[in-house]
A and B are shown apart, each in its own frame.
Chain A
């Protein structure tokens, strides 16, 4: 059996008396899109925050390529090759597209200008930003020097996805990437998700939107009451059954896929 690229075992996270994660597991296999669905309060966000280093779980372990890791901050997760597109997008509106793409890992100019005067390699970063956006087919963003706040919701999403795709070397996590978007923009972002997977990067996709999930996911992780309730195959289960498991109206089928 292949080793999961990213694995969580028995994650527990409590906020005061509220238990957000009650021993949650997760496995992400190479090259797949794993959708994570769950009702409000099922612990989706906490699970994703733990995997992306945004919160530190109280118990449990996270493994990358089978090796245990501990993420004290988002920087640690990034170093392990895990990039996250947060629901809030985590972009800085007043900075331009290129600056946002390289936020927190800016490149400096070579030579004295970079080492002594710590000058940024603006042109280099803009060119690279241009390449990344083109690579994802977001040609219509004309100018990487454009401020992000002048972009539409879908374009901002595209910038956040491009950032994750550009720097993610192992995993890309996307939290509700289509939640704030219209139909056409959602369509384009889903295409981005598929493109990222086609580049060979496995994707964890958190979504409330069942049609989107069933369209792109290879497997569906159903989160309920802080735990993984089931992992199902979107090709063999109906949307209404998945929702029934998610809400607790139905027990998962005996043979769930991919659970160890």
Chain B
């Protein structure tokens, strides 16, 4: 990659003026992707949908679309929380563990004590938020790297989950129906969509709104971009980080609810690798691991890309191991692309 622009070649006129020079198509593409990080993933999703639809006529059937959306809903909601953490240049390895712990708390409290659905659900949200808050406190107060904090709490939360559940699955028939509601479907234009899938879309929309249109959202981006600059600009970066981790925890409680509906039970062994899958979705969706750049819609698209790849390759009769390899290649391509985009020059 070579950039022909440099200060010495900037055009005449006010030296503080914009340097609008000739750009090669490649540089223009780089600028476009730089300005609109979700364009890349959106194109990949569209192309893959077209390709898989050509490969298998079953791919675009309502039943299959519904299946993909169901498969994506858990990771897609986790990715909402994961995105805001990654936007602050953090990472959350504990998201799957928080989700599982929360789902066990919701289900087991209700099954053991006969607590009705709504309080059980709210209790789950309290637990999820507290778990996120603990991550946030460790990151902001002890100043530990998020990777280490969440690697530690991943194990702590998972152990708590095994202890509280006694490693036993809680059957759906023992729970209030509200907890299973996310697995129910409604008919939308001939396609049966679960409420869990709809909840994912609503969560994505709400978070996208908050990131784009509120001061909090801007502070999340600014803190991830340059924490010291943000502090000097009068942003209370500690508070921003704390709110991000706590909010992410609350979002994972939504994932727990979706998970219960999806598997019609609460299993202490469910979603073991969902933490990595959520990171995959965020990264493929164009959000930078270095913070400050990306969008929540991209993460939804990223989750959909993974879902479409796995589903489409399976329909085309490709072995599971190649599906996994395809996802691996996607991750590396996405991060390489991000590195390139970040080198954009004025």
> Which residues of A are at the interface with B, using a C-beta cutoff of 8 A?
52, 54, 73-75, 78, 84, 86, 88-95, 99-100, 103-106, 108, 117-120, 122, 138-142, 146-147, 149-155, 158, 182, 184-185, 187-189
* Docked CA distance A5–B268 (Å): 64
Query: A119 to B7, Cβ gap below 8 A?
Result: no
| Given A94-B225, A188-B14, A74 contacting B234 (CB threshold 8 A) | yes
Assuming A92-B225, A118-B215, is B230 touching A140 (CB within 8 A)? no
- What is the CB-to-nearest-CB distance from B343 to chain A, in angstroms, rounded to a whole number? 11
Given known contacts A139-B14, A140-B13, A155-B18, is B235 in contact with A104 (CB within 8 Å)? yes
**Nearest CB of chain B from residue A92's CB, rounded to whole Å:** 4
Q: Is the CB of B229 within 8 A of A138?
A: no
Q: Given the interface contacts A95-B218, A119-B214, does A103 sit within 8 Å of B15 by beta carbon?
A: no
List 9 A-B pairs, minimum CB-CB distance, nearest first: A140-B17, A104-B234, A184-B15, A90-B232, A106-B215, A92-B222, A90-B229, A103-B233, A92-B225
Pick the contact of A95: B10, B225, B344 (CB < 8 A).
Answer: B225
Known: A103-B218, A103-B222, A118-B215. 6 other contacts (CB 8 A): A75-B234, A103-B230, A106-B218, A118-B214, A141-B18, A154-B15
A84-B232, A119-B213 known; A154 vs B344 contact (CB < 8 Å): no
Give the distance in Å from the alpha carbon of A112 to the alpha carbon of B209 in the complex: 15
Chain A residue at minimum C-beta to C-beta distance from B342: A149
What separation, in Å, do the CA atoms of A91 and B229 have in the docked complex?
A: 6
Q: Which residue on B lies nearest to A78, using beta carbons?
A: B234
Beta-carbon contacts of B208-221 to A below 8 Å, as 1s and 0s?
Answer: 01000111101101
Listed A/B pairs (13) with beta-carbon separation below 8 Å: A54-B232, A88-B229, A92-B221, A92-B226, A92-B229, A105-B234, A108-B215, A138-B16, A140-B16, A151-B18, A154-B16, A155-B17, A158-B16
Number of residue pairs across A and B with beta carbons under 8 Å?
A: 123
Task: Look across to chain A and name the residue whose beta carbon is closest to the beta carbon of B224.
Answer: A94
Size class of the B contact interface (CB-based, 8 Å): 35 or more
Whole-angstrom distance between the Cβ of B105 and the nearest chain A Cβ: 30
Interface of A is mostly: loop
Are A185 and B218 touching (Cβ within 8 A)? no
Closest Cβ of chain B to A156, distance in Å, is: 9
What chain A residues lie within 8 Å of B14 (beta carbons)? 138-140, 188
B293 within 8 A of A: yes
Q: Is the CB of B15 within 8 A of A188?
A: yes
Kindly state whether residue B156 has any CB partner on chain A within 8 Å.
no
B232 and A86 form a contact (CB under 8 A): yes
The verdict on B143 contacting chain A, using a C-beta distance below 8 Å, is: no
Are A93 and B235 in contact (CB-based, < 8 A)?
A: no
List B contacts of A90 (CB < 8 A). Answer: 226, 228-230, 232-233
Contact partners of B326 in chain A: CB under 8 A: none
B193 to chain A minimum Cβ distance, whole angstroms, is 27
Q: Is the CB of B222 within 8 A of A182?
A: no
B186 within 8 A of A: no
Question: By the criterion CB–CB under 8 Å, are A95 and B221 in contact?
Answer: yes
Q: Please, how many angstroms separate the alpha-carbon atoms of A120 and B209 in the complex?
A: 11
Shortest CB–CB separation between residue B108 and chain A, in angstroms?
36
Contacts of B219 in A (CB 8 A): 104
